[in-house]
Amino acid sequence: MSMKIGIIGSGNVGGTLGARWAQLGHEVTFGSRNPGSDAMKQLAARAGGKARAALPADAARDNEVLLLSTPWPAAQEVLRNLGDLNGKTLIDATNPLLPTLQGLELGNTTSAGEQVAAWATGAKVVKAFNTVGFNIMENPAFGSDKAVMFYCGDDAGAKQTVKQLTVELGFDAVDAGPLRQARVLEPFALLWISLAYGCGYGREIAFKLLRR
Amino acid sequence: MSMKIGIIGSGNVGGTLGARWAQLGHEVTFGSRNPGSDAMKQLAARAGGKARAALPADAARDNEVLLLSTPWPAAQEVLRNLGDLNGKTLIDATNPLLPTLQGLELGNTTSAGEQVAAWATGAKVVKAFNTVGFNIMENPAFGSDKAVMFYCGDDAGAKQTVKQLTVELGFDAVDAGPLRQARVLEPFALLWISLAYGCGYGREIAFKLLRR
Considering the entire predicted model, what is its pTM?
0.96
DSSP A153: E
- Distance between CA atoms of residues A89 and A147, nearest Å: 24
Which whole number is the average pLDDT over B81-88? 97
Position B11 scores a pLDDT of 96
Residue B63 pLDDT > 80: yes
- Nearest-angstrom CA–CA distance, B36 and B23: 21
**Rounded CA separation B134/B185 (Å):** 16
Does residue B13 surpass a pLDDT of 90?
yes
Q: Which fold has domain B4-198?
A: Rossmann fold (3.40.50)
Q: What is the pLDDT of residue B119?
A: 98
Say how far apart CA A176 and CA A174 lie, in whole Å.
Answer: 6
- Indicate the pLDDT class of residue B173, thresholds 50, 70 and 90: very high
Mean pLDDT for A15-22 is 98
Is the ipTM here above 0.90? yes
Instruction: Answer whether B156 touches A (CB < 8 Å).
Output: no
Residue A201 has pLDDT above 80, yes or no: yes
- Quick count: other Cβ atoms within 10 Å of Cβ A52? 17
A residues 83-142 lying closer than 8 A (beta carbon) to B: 103-104, 106-109, 142
| Amino acid residing at A174 | V
CA separation (Å) from B174 to A92, A167, B25? 29, 28, 23
Spell out the alpha helix ranges (H) of chain A.
12-23, 38-46, 56-61, 72-80, 112-119, 134-138, 156-168, 182-193
| Dist CA A148 CA B148 (whole Å) | 14
Given CA atoms B173, B126, B159, B8 in this order, what sign does their dihedral have? negative
Identify the band that residue B105 occupies on the pLDDT scale cut at 50, 70 and 90.
Answer: very high
Q: Could you tell me what percent of chain B has a pLDDT over 90?
A: 98
Provide the greatest CA pair distance for chain A.
Answer: 51
What pLDDT is attached to residue B50?
80
Residues of B in contact with A191 (CB under 8 A): 150, 176, 181, 184-185, 188
What pLDDT, in 10s, does the model give residues A140-189? 999 999 999 999 999 999 999 999 999 999 999 999 999 999 999 999 99
What separation in angstroms does the CA of B139 have from each of B20, B145, B149? 10, 11, 12
How far is the CA of A116 from the CAs of A38, A101, B103, in angstroms?
A: 30, 20, 20
Going from N- to C-terminal start, the domains of chain A cover: 4-198
Nearest to B191 among A184, A206, A212 (CB): A184
Mutate to test the interface with B, among A100, A108, A159 (most CBs of B within 10 A): A108
How many C-beta neighbours within 10 Å does residue B195 have? 23
For CA atoms A186, A2, A208, A177, give the dihedral sign: positive
Cβ–Cβ gap A199/B205 under 8 Å: no
Report whether pLDDT(A1) > 90.
Answer: no
Residue A49 pLDDT class (50, 70, 90 cuts): confident
- The pLDDT score that the predictor gives to residue B84 is 97
Task: Tell me the average pLDDT across A104-113.
Answer: 97
| Shortest alpha-carbon distance between residue A210 and chain B (Å) | 5
pLDDT at B49 over 80: no
To the nearest whole angstrom, how far is the Cα of A15 from the nearest Cα of chain B? 23
